[in-house]
Structure 1
Amino acid sequence: MAYDAVLADRVRELLAAERGVSEKAMFGGLAFLIDGNMSVAVSSQGGLMVRLAPEDIGRLLGREHVEPMIMAGRPIRGWLRVGSDGVRTKRQLSAWVDRCVEFTKRLPPK
Structure 2
Amino acid sequence: MAYDEGLAHRLGDALGGLPGMGSKKMFGGIAFLWHGNMLVGVIGDDLIARVGPEAQEDALTQPGARVFDFTGRPMKGWVIVDGAAVSEDEALEDWIARAREFVEALPPK
TM-score grouping bracket, smaller chain normalisation: over 0.9
Q: Which runs of 5+ in 1 are unaligned?
A: none
Q: Which structure 1 residue ranges, 4+ long, deviate > 6 Å from structure 2? A: none
How well do the aligned residues superpose, as a CA RMSD in angstroms? Answer: 1.0
Say if 2:96 is the partner of 1:97: yes
Equivalent position of 1:87 in the other structure: 86
**Aligned partners of 1:71 and 1:65: how far apart in 2?**
16
Deviates more, 1:98-107 or 1:74-83: 98-107
Deviates more, 1:21-30 or 1:55-64: 55-64
| Offset from partner CA, 1:8-53 (integer Å, 9 cap, x none) | 1100111011110010000110000001000101112x11110012
**Aligned partners of 2:97 and 2:9: how far apart in 1?**
16
Deviation, 1:54, is: 1.1
What amino acid maps onto 1:108 in structure 2?
A: P
Q: Which runs of 5+ in 2 are unaligned?
A: none
Q: TM-score, normalised by structure 2?
A: 0.95
Q: TM-score, normalised by structure 1?
A: 0.94
Kindly report which structure 2 residues correspond to 1:18-97, keeping only aligned pairs within 5 A, or say none. 18-44=18-44, 46-97=45-96
Deviation, 1:71, is: 2.4
Identity of aligned residues (%): 39
Aligned residue for 1:31, secondary structure, equals strand
What amino acid maps onto 1:99 in structure 2?
A: R
Number of equivalences: 109
What amino acid maps onto 1:21 in structure 2?
A: M
**Aligned partners of 1:107 and 1:89: how far apart in 2?**
28
Deviation, 1:74, is: 1.1
More strand by share: 1
Equivalent position of 2:3 in the other structure: 3
